[in-house]
Structure 1
Amino acid sequence: MGATPCASHSLSRATHERTSAVVDTREFLRMLVVSDSLAISPHVKDLANTLLRHYPLDVDIDVSAAALPGVWVHPKHGR
């Protein structure tokens, strides 16, 4: 027995939102690392860089989306 149309739509929306949050967070961390702003402390930049070392790339999310389509969607490349 499959999910109801409403539940299926909610699941699809959640997978898109989850993927978008991960991709957007990665971009935010990158922005912190490369910023020339003096308002961002070196400690914050170092921490952001440390987190990025093991943060999933689009290719990692692509593989996960292929294996777990109910959890991830393929990210929009070139963002």
Structure 2
Amino acid sequence: MEHRHARSNLKRITMTVPDERTRAVLRARDLLTELATAPHDVNLDVLRERARTLLRHYPDLVHLRLSAAMASGIWGDPDAKWHD
């Protein structure tokens, strides 16, 4: 009889605090800047892991909506028709 832990199938839920979200945005910019000038032989495994790490705390649509509402001079409406 196979014994499986119920918790093994649950996604780990973490809470992102504001400074983690800010660091994720800044580090994403650094990553994109690095990619723009990277040689063609980029290690995709390393790149994917860095992207996963950044996305863990990257702002989602809810946070972008809130930021746009509070700082409309800095952030555009994420629900506008111009976004992809």
What TM-score comes out, normalization by structure 1 length?
Answer: 0.44
| Higher normalized contact order (CA 8 Å, seq sep 6+, divided by chain length) | 1
**Greater Rg by CA:** 2
More helix by share: 1
What TM-score comes out, normalization by structure 2 length?
Answer: 0.42
